[in-house]
Structure 1
Amino acid sequence: MDHLKIIKTPEEHEVALARLMELMDADPQEGSREADELEVLAMLIDQYEQREFPIDRPDPVEAIRFRMDQQGLKNKDLIPYIGSAPKVSEVLNGTRRLSLNMIRRLNAGLGIPADILIQEPIQETASEKDIDWQAFPLAVMQKRGYFEGFEGSLQELKEYAAEWVTRLFSGVRGGFELEPAMLRTTSHLRTNDKVSDHYALWAWQARVLQCAAEQRLPNTYQSGTVNLEWMRNLAQLSWSEKGPELAREYLEKSGIHLVIEPHLPKTYLDGAACAGTRGSPVIALTLRHNRLDNFWFTLMHELAHVALHLDGNEAWFIDNLEAESGDDKEQQADALAQKALLPEGIDYRSITRASFVRQLANDLSIAPAIIAGRVRYETGNHRLFGSAFREKVAAEIDG
């Protein structure tokens, strides 16, 4: 057996075949030197032939036509599996690819092996997942541009939902590992008794990571950058009419992503903090309540998670800030956010005049809306000051 080696050329293949036939004719006894040589030689020949003469996978359309011939089926008999007469014609003519839905119906109804019908890697990935693809809010996701390159109808998207959602999750690191956030010990979901759609939340998380991955930050994030002083410097940018856009620049220069992504139905989100695909923190805001005070407090709350809880781990902090929380980490983030935005020791319940709000804002060099929002929160009177200090977030931040 000392002469055995990996077969690399046609000539070596011929020599190996001749030796294989010689050993087989000799019919060596099991356990003998010749029997061992026969076994190893057969493996080497098989490796060479698989490498040099790969067998093409059967064509899915040919497999369907073969089964039709076997069972005497007409085109119309495939409608229950493919969807309509035009779709059947398109599939058989090779102008429409099979969807994973079609493949499963053909496999169950006609017994055609799924591994023959599955030709695309994205379908192979999707077929391994036990996921209800129709449970995602596909219509809203399509409208918001989650599926880049898709130009079909909603009905078409539903047919190929497995492929397009899998493409979304495969495009971000750990996309499938996010399922579902509510049950992950590395995720912290702050919510109330409203029903949270876990599929919608999962899609939103993937979209946030996708958007963050498309951003190019000018600097690398340094652990420990976000602290109380850093947050207070950021808060003073609120004094400018372009405060939200300046905040984006401030975060990006510190190596932090800021993603504005509206929440999906039944998720009730204000913001989230997580680690991006390159390790930089990602702050995501939904602007569910499109007001300056909400923008600044949510931003500070998520940055507080970065300062206190996120550095060095890959947890998600997902927040509905209207919800009360007994979680120590949420209470810590609330406290640090308040401390960064406004000084302690002021009786905000006693502030009732808009003029005093403006004067205090001027003294502190922050947006009046932040003070007004704190007063409304402390007093529980959300009608206080009427429409004053209810500015919306500047349009340029939304994107």
Structure 2
Amino acid sequence: MSNVRPIRNDADYDAALARVDYLMSNPVSGDLRDELDVQTTLIEVYEDEHYPIDLPSPIEAIQFRMEQANLSQADLVPYIGSRAKVSEVLSGKRTLTLKMIRALNAHLGIPAEVLIGDTNVVDLQESTKEVRWDRFPIKELLKRGWLETTTRAAKSAEELMAGLLQQAGGMRAVPQALYRKNDSTRQNASMDPYALQAWCLYVLAKARERKLPATYHEGAIDQDFLRFLATLSRLPDGPKRAVEALAQKGVAVVYARHLPKTYLDGAAMRTKEQVPVIGLSLRFDRLDNFWFCLLHEAVHVWRHLKDEHDFFIDDLKLDPTDHSEDWSVEEEADLLAQEALIPTNKWSDADLLSKATPFRVMAFAQSVNVHPAIVAGRVRRETGNYRLLSQFVGSNEVRQHFEEAS
């Protein structure tokens, strides 16, 4: 038997594989057969330690069992609940509940550890003990069609919300802190945390349905891109164009009409797959508000949405005087959005606040290549006079773009 050495690294591993390949390609006996056995054992030990075989995903395990037992999707209904749920589970749109896992494990013999996976279970018993399900605005959610059900009266609030939770990615899709009033710097103190949570879950669920043309990467958004978005405001379909441009960067933009007592304009967060999402409520259907809010949330995606647990909820009517917390993040988002919409040096030179006539507003908007609504909105905000230039702010000109597409 030749000098057999331990396998300590990938170079040793490659050499051992080559030696085994040689031995297996030639007749061996005696010491060479012993060497083959030893080399094979050493390779197996090294592979077990350095190249472990991952467990199949829950969907792969179910599909394998279906193929093995010649089962159709209809055969899974007793374990998952309905044909629609089976289809959603197999397509990845619906995550498995503990009840489903127990049934699949007991009746089809699929190992529970495979069905659980890493983050695939919505454990409504263990993860939601502090959740008051009756606090969710169930009637309004049903009215809007945000909850999927055909037997409304027969289901509890928890059961109704379970579907939306699963579509959004599970209990950890939106931080649990949203169930309680917290210290988010741009969050209205009168906000209903359950209404806000429902809105965020719906936004995440819709975002996960989108097939974006690109994957987001750091640096995809910068000040030049924000400025490009601002120039799209000139176009009749500018809001749509901006959403498409963000999609090309791997960012999903979702419109969801604000729920009562949410008091928010926009939000920035991530799906469980780490896709950045900008949610817009369009509670003020004006062009000036839309463009500032969109760019403000885009800055959050660019500069602040670094960790999977980061999220930003924004009531843009609030300013630092409404909170005692650190305002630096919101201030940065405000300043960078404002700079992209109207460069500071040009705004200072124009001196519009002293005399903001319709002609001067239109001329200045053309000179900085943005819609007059953006200029009028800034004049109104900085003067505090919201009766000024109301004909320019584009009232009732935004929501129609999103409702046509929905």
TM-score (norm 1): 0.64
CA distance in 1, matches of 2:368, 2:311: 32
- CA distances 1:269-297 after superposition (whole Å, capped 9, x unpaired): 10000112322211110001000000000
Structure 1 vs Structure 2 CA RMSD: 2.8
User: Is the aligned partner of 1:285 residue 2:289?
Assistant: no
1:120 and 1:136, CA in 2 relative to 1: closer, same or farther beyond 3 A? farther
Structure 2 counterpart SS, 1:287: coil
Give the superposition deviation at 1:335. 0.6
Correspondence for 2:239: 244
Correspondence for 1:126: 124
Give the superposition deviation at 1:219. 0.9
Of stretches 280-289 and 325-334 in structure 1, the one that deviates more from structure 2 is: 325-334
1:358-377 maps to which residues of 2 (within 5 A)?
Answer: 358-377=362-381
Query: Contact between 1:293 and 1:370, CA under 8 Å: does it hold in 2?
Result: yes
Give the superposition deviation at 1:192. 3.5
Q: Percent identity?
A: 38
1:272-351 maps to which residues of 2 (within 5 A)?
Answer: 272-325=267-320, 326-345=326-345, 346=347, 347-351=351-355
CA distance in 2, matches of 1:357, 1:313: 42
Give the superposition deviation at 1:145. 1.7
- CA distances 1:344-397 after superposition (whole Å, capped 9, x unpaired): 132342242111111111111211000000000011000002433334215122
Question: Which of 218, 222, 227 is 2:222 aligned to?
Answer: 227
Q: Structure 1, unaligned stretches of length 5 or more? A: 1-96, 98-114
Query: Contact between 2:268 and 2:312, CA under 8 Å: does it hold in 1?
Result: yes
- CA distances 1:242-292 after superposition (whole Å, capped 9, x unpaired): 000101110111111000011211110100001123222111100010000
Structure 2 counterpart SS, 1:272: strand
Question: Which of 366, 373, 379 is 2:383 aligned to?
Answer: 379
Counterpart of 2:176, as a letter, is E
Correspondence for 1:197: 192
- CA distances 1:276-324 after superposition (whole Å, capped 9, x unpaired): 2322211110001000000000001001111211135430000000011
Give the superposition deviation at 1:174. 4.3
CA distance in 2, matches of 1:202, 1:386: 33
CA distance in 2, matches of 1:230, 1:221: 14
1:379 and 1:138, CA in 2 relative to 1: closer, same or farther beyond 3 A? same
Query: Contact between 2:265 and 2:293, CA under 8 Å: does it hold in 1?
Result: yes
User: Is the aligned partner of 1:172 residue 2:172?
Assistant: no
1:334 and 1:251, CA in 2 relative to 1: closer, same or farther beyond 3 A? same
Correspondence for 1:71: none
1:1-399 maps to which residues of 2 (within 5 A)?
Answer: 125-128=123-126, 129-130=128-129, 131-148=131-148, 150-153=149-152, 156=153, 159-176=155-172, 178-181=175-178, 188-193=184-189, 195-325=190-320, 326-345=326-345, 346=347, 347-391=351-395, 392-393=397-398, 395-398=400-403, 399=406
CA distance in 1, matches of 2:293, 2:393: 17
Counterpart of 2:169, as a letter, is R
Counterpart of 1:395, as a letter, is Q
- CA distances 1:54-108 after superposition (whole Å, capped 9, x unpaired): xxxxxxxxxxxxxxxxxxxxxxxxxxxxxxxxxxxxxxxxxxx9xxxxxxxxxxx
Of stretches 357-366 and 333-342 in structure 1, the one that deviates more from structure 2 is: 357-366
CA distance in 2, matches of 1:189, 1:145: 31
TM-score (norm 2): 0.63
Counterpart of 1:242, as a letter, is D
CA distance in 2, matches of 1:252, 1:349: 36
Give the superposition deviation at 1:169. 1.1
Correspondence for 1:89: none
Structure 1 counterpart SS, 2:296: helix
Structure 2 counterpart SS, 1:190: coil
Query: Contact between 1:351 and 1:375, CA under 8 Å: does it hold in 2?
Result: no
Counterpart of 2:342, as a letter, is L
1:184 and 1:224, CA in 2 relative to 1: closer, same or farther beyond 3 A? farther
Structure 1 counterpart SS, 2:168: coil
Query: Contact between 1:272 and 1:318, CA under 8 Å: does it hold in 2?
Result: yes
Query: Contact between 1:196 and 1:268, CA under 8 Å: does it hold in 2?
Result: yes
CA distance in 2, matches of 1:142, 1:366: 39
Give the superposition deviation at 1:132. 1.8
Query: Contact between 1:242 and 1:394, CA under 8 Å: does it hold in 2?
Result: no
Query: Contact between 2:186 and 2:313, CA under 8 Å: does it hold in 1?
Result: yes
Structure 2 counterpart SS, 1:315: coil
Aligned residue pairs, count: 278
Structure 2 counterpart SS, 1:126: coil
CA distance in 2, matches of 1:215, 1:223: 20
Query: Contact between 1:147 and 1:164, CA under 8 Å: does it hold in 2?
Result: yes
Query: Contact between 1:133 and 1:162, CA under 8 Å: does it hold in 2?
Result: yes
